[in-house]
Structure 1
Protein backbone atom coordinates (compact mmCIF):
# COMPACT_ATOMS: atom_id res chain seq x y z
CA UNK A 1 0.00 0.00 0.00
CA UNK A 2 1.26 3.48 -0.79
CA UNK A 3 0.27 6.38 1.42
CA UNK A 4 1.29 9.99 0.98
CA UNK A 5 1.57 11.19 4.58
CA UNK A 6 1.17 14.87 3.74
CA UNK A 7 -2.24 14.19 2.21
CA UNK A 8 -1.22 16.15 -0.90
CA UNK A 9 1.80 16.98 -3.02
CA UNK A 10 4.27 19.56 -1.72
CA UNK A 11 4.34 22.76 -3.71
CA UNK A 12 7.93 23.38 -4.76
CA UNK A 13 10.71 22.71 -2.29
CA UNK A 14 10.30 21.38 1.19
CA UNK A 15 8.00 18.90 2.78
CA UNK A 16 4.63 19.51 4.39
CA UNK A 17 3.45 18.36 7.78
CA UNK A 18 2.65 14.66 7.98
CA UNK A 19 -0.82 13.54 8.98
CA UNK A 20 -0.56 11.13 11.89
CA UNK A 21 -3.22 8.84 10.42
CA UNK A 22 -0.77 7.64 7.79
CA UNK A 23 1.54 6.33 10.50
CA UNK A 24 -1.37 4.95 12.54
CA UNK A 25 -2.40 2.62 9.67
CA UNK A 26 1.01 0.90 9.74
CA UNK A 27 1.03 0.77 13.54
CA UNK A 28 -2.41 -0.83 13.67
CA UNK A 29 -1.41 -3.37 11.00
CA UNK A 30 1.92 -4.02 12.77
CA UNK A 31 3.86 -3.72 9.52
CA UNK A 32 7.12 -1.85 8.90
CA UNK A 33 7.09 1.48 7.09
CA UNK A 34 9.33 1.83 4.04
CA UNK A 35 9.78 5.57 3.50
CA UNK A 36 10.14 6.69 -0.11
CA UNK A 37 11.36 10.16 -1.06
CA UNK A 38 10.07 11.43 -4.40
CA UNK A 39 11.62 14.62 -5.71
CA UNK A 40 10.61 16.51 -8.83
CA UNK A 41 6.89 15.76 -8.90
CA UNK A 42 6.04 19.46 -8.71
CA UNK A 43 7.94 19.90 -12.00
CA UNK A 44 5.74 17.35 -13.75
CA UNK A 45 2.30 18.22 -12.58
CA UNK A 46 1.15 21.53 -11.18
CA UNK A 47 -1.87 21.45 -8.91
CA UNK A 48 -5.13 22.52 -10.58
CA UNK A 49 -3.69 22.06 -14.08
CA UNK A 50 -4.47 19.32 -16.56
CA UNK A 51 -1.62 17.46 -18.24
CA UNK A 52 1.99 16.67 -17.51
CA UNK A 53 5.30 18.40 -18.16
CA UNK A 54 8.53 16.60 -19.02
CA UNK A 55 10.88 16.66 -16.02
CA UNK A 56 13.39 14.59 -14.07
CA UNK A 57 12.08 12.77 -11.01
CA UNK A 58 14.22 11.13 -8.34
CA UNK A 59 12.83 8.28 -6.23
CA UNK A 60 14.76 7.07 -3.20
CA UNK A 61 13.69 3.97 -1.27
CA UNK A 62 14.89 4.43 2.30
CA UNK A 63 15.57 1.99 5.14
CA UNK A 64 12.44 0.65 6.80
CA UNK A 65 11.16 1.85 10.16
CA UNK A 66 9.78 -0.85 12.45
CA UNK A 67 6.40 -0.31 14.07
CA UNK A 68 6.41 -2.92 16.82
CA UNK A 69 4.54 -1.18 19.62
CA UNK A 70 4.79 -4.33 21.74
CA UNK A 71 8.54 -3.73 21.81
CA UNK A 72 7.99 -0.26 23.24
CA UNK A 73 8.01 1.83 20.07
CA UNK A 74 6.50 5.28 20.57
CA UNK A 75 4.12 6.37 17.75
CA UNK A 76 5.44 9.94 17.96
CA UNK A 77 9.03 8.73 17.63
CA UNK A 78 8.10 6.59 14.61
CA UNK A 79 6.31 9.57 13.04
CA UNK A 80 9.43 11.71 13.54
CA UNK A 81 11.81 9.00 12.23
CA UNK A 82 9.86 8.54 9.00
CA UNK A 83 9.61 12.28 8.35
CA UNK A 84 13.30 12.92 9.10
CA UNK A 85 14.46 10.10 6.80
CA UNK A 86 12.46 11.57 3.94
CA UNK A 87 13.70 15.11 4.63
CA UNK A 88 17.33 13.96 4.71
CA UNK A 89 17.04 11.94 1.48
Structure 2
Protein backbone atom coordinates (compact mmCIF):
# COMPACT_ATOMS: atom_id res chain seq x y z
CA UNK A 1 0.00 0.00 0.00
CA UNK A 2 1.43 3.37 -0.99
CA UNK A 3 0.93 6.75 0.67
CA UNK A 4 -1.55 7.66 -2.06
CA UNK A 5 -3.60 4.55 -1.38
CA UNK A 6 -3.90 5.32 2.32
CA UNK A 7 -6.70 7.86 2.45
CA UNK A 8 -7.02 10.51 5.14
CA UNK A 9 -9.96 8.82 6.91
CA UNK A 10 -7.90 5.63 7.17
CA UNK A 11 -5.04 7.54 8.78
CA UNK A 12 -7.41 8.87 11.44
CA UNK A 13 -8.71 5.36 12.07
CA UNK A 14 -5.15 4.04 12.48
CA UNK A 15 -4.24 6.83 14.90
CA UNK A 16 -7.47 6.29 16.83
CA UNK A 17 -6.86 2.55 17.04
CA UNK A 18 -3.34 3.14 18.32
CA UNK A 19 -4.65 5.53 20.96
CA UNK A 20 -7.28 2.99 22.04
CA UNK A 21 -4.67 0.22 22.19
CA UNK A 22 -2.31 2.35 24.29
CA UNK A 23 -5.16 3.40 26.59
CA UNK A 24 -6.52 -0.10 27.13
CA UNK A 25 -3.04 -1.54 27.67
CA UNK A 26 -2.72 0.93 30.57
CA UNK A 27 -6.15 -0.21 31.86
CA UNK A 28 -7.53 3.33 31.55
CA UNK A 29 -11.18 4.14 30.96
CA UNK A 30 -12.04 6.66 28.25
CA UNK A 31 -13.47 8.98 30.90
CA UNK A 32 -10.21 8.94 32.85
CA UNK A 33 -8.06 9.76 29.84
CA UNK A 34 -10.57 12.34 28.59
CA UNK A 35 -10.46 14.20 31.91
CA UNK A 36 -6.67 14.09 31.91
CA UNK A 37 -6.39 15.63 28.43
CA UNK A 38 -9.27 18.09 28.83
CA UNK A 39 -11.88 16.72 26.42
CA UNK A 40 -15.22 14.96 26.84
CA UNK A 41 -15.34 11.18 26.81
CA UNK A 42 -17.61 11.30 23.75
CA UNK A 43 -15.02 13.39 21.89
CA UNK A 44 -12.27 10.91 22.84
CA UNK A 45 -14.52 8.09 21.63
CA UNK A 46 -14.83 9.83 18.25
CA UNK A 47 -11.05 10.26 18.09
CA UNK A 48 -10.53 6.57 18.83
CA UNK A 49 -13.03 5.57 16.16
CA UNK A 50 -11.35 7.85 13.59
CA UNK A 51 -14.32 10.22 13.30
CA UNK A 52 -12.41 13.29 14.53
CA UNK A 53 -9.14 14.83 13.39
CA UNK A 54 -6.50 15.33 16.07
CA UNK A 55 -4.51 18.52 16.42
CA UNK A 56 -0.80 18.14 17.05
CA UNK A 57 -1.29 19.69 20.50
CA UNK A 58 -3.98 17.16 21.45
CA UNK A 59 -1.91 14.25 20.14
CA UNK A 60 0.94 15.49 22.32
CA UNK A 61 -1.35 15.65 25.38
CA UNK A 62 -2.61 12.14 24.71
CA UNK A 63 0.90 10.75 24.25
CA UNK A 64 2.06 12.35 27.51
CA UNK A 65 -1.01 11.11 29.40
CA UNK A 66 -0.48 7.58 28.09
CA UNK A 67 3.28 7.63 28.61
CA UNK A 68 4.04 6.87 24.97
CA UNK A 69 5.81 8.78 22.20
CA UNK A 70 3.80 10.74 19.66
CA UNK A 71 5.59 8.72 16.98
CA UNK A 72 4.08 5.50 18.32
CA UNK A 73 0.59 6.90 17.60
CA UNK A 74 1.41 8.17 14.12
CA UNK A 75 1.36 5.92 11.03
CA UNK A 76 3.96 8.21 9.43
CA UNK A 77 6.48 7.59 12.18
CA UNK A 78 9.05 6.04 9.85
CA UNK A 79 10.96 8.49 7.67
CA UNK A 80 13.36 7.35 4.96
CA UNK A 81 16.72 8.98 4.21
CA UNK A 82 15.01 11.45 1.85
CA UNK A 83 12.60 12.60 4.57
CA UNK A 84 9.66 10.80 2.99
CA UNK A 85 7.12 9.19 5.33
CA UNK A 86 7.08 5.41 5.04
CA UNK A 87 3.77 3.72 5.79
CA UNK A 88 3.49 0.25 7.24
CA UNK A 89 3.36 -2.40 4.53
CA UNK A 90 0.22 -4.50 4.43
CA UNK A 91 -0.46 -7.44 2.17
TM-score range, shorter chain: under 0.3
Structure number with the higher helix fraction is 2
TM-score (norm 2): 0.25
More strand by proportion, 1 or 2? 1
Structure whose alpha-carbon radius of gyration is higher: 1
TM-score (norm 1): 0.26
